[in-house]
Amino acid sequence: MKKGFTIIEVSILLVIFLIVAFLVVPLSLDDTKQANNTSRWRGVQSEFENVFYSLNTQKNSDDFDFKQAFMSVMLGEIKGDVKPYKITFLNGTFPNSTYRFSDYKSTYANSVLSVKFFDAPQDDILGLLMYDVNGTSGPNVWGKDVFGFNIYSDRFEPFCKSEPVNVQKQECSKDGTGLCCSNYYLIGGSFE
């Protein structure tokens, strides 16, 4: 009659537990990292709302130049230049010219930001702001740690704010660009 487990049986159980652990732990770490990035993005969004509130209180003067005022506020946040720096879409492709930025700056919050103003407004949008919540640390992917705003003369608006939720969700999936995650996470959407 057998009274215990053999060393082979214990070894097999140990190997099974290790395999399960190696499969589960990275998934939970990725979820934790994404939740942290999403939380930081929500904080950044409210900080930029405060920037616009401050700028809108200055608009009464006749010589007010929004772009100049905005950039002077941003200069107070900037620590230095970031080179090289590359961003990809969530689906692994590279951004088209509209969402390709240059002149990346590191901030005192250890983030990366870039602002691009258009020569002429496009659908009342003056420009775009790209914000990487965890700086140069990877993955540098739209919708994972990189988010963005449309810049209007009177407000910031997260990318895709006017898109239906189902479009935002699709764009925030592994087959999408990740641009819509900028608003999708703010309205309570979950990462897939």
Q: Given this model, what pLDDT does residue 83 score?
A: 84
Residue ranges per domain, the chain? 7-184
Average pLDDT rounded to a whole number, residues 84-112? 90
Q: Tell me the one-letter amino acid at 2.
A: K
For residue 73, how far is the Cα from the chain centroid? 21
Q: Given this model, what pLDDT does residue 5 score?
A: 72
Residue 60 has pLDDT above 90, yes or no: no
Average pLDDT rounded to a whole number, residues 124-129? 90
Residue 94 has pLDDT above 70, yes or no: yes
> Which residues on neighbouring strands pair with residue 78, listed in sequence order?
107
With CA atoms as reference, report the closest residue to 112 among 29, 168, 174, 37: 37
Give 137's pLDDT tier (boundaries 50, 70, 90). Answer: confident
Average pLDDT rounded to a whole number, residues 106-129? 88
Q: Given this model, what pLDDT does residue 30 score?
A: 57
Cβ count near 154 (within 10 Å): 11
Give 93's pLDDT tier (boundaries 50, 70, 90). Answer: very high
- Rounded to the nearest integer, the mean pLDDT of the chain is 82
Q: Given this model, what pLDDT does residue 52 score?
A: 72
Average pLDDT rounded to a whole number, residues 101-110? 87
Give 2's pLDDT tier (boundaries 50, 70, 90). Answer: low
Q: What is the DSSP string of 128-154?
A: EEEEETTTTSS--BBTTTEEEEEE-SS
Average pLDDT rounded to a whole number, residues 19-33? 61
Give 109's pLDDT tier (boundaries 50, 70, 90). Answer: confident
Q: What is the DSSP string of 101-125?
A: --S-EEETTS-EEEEEEEEEEETTE
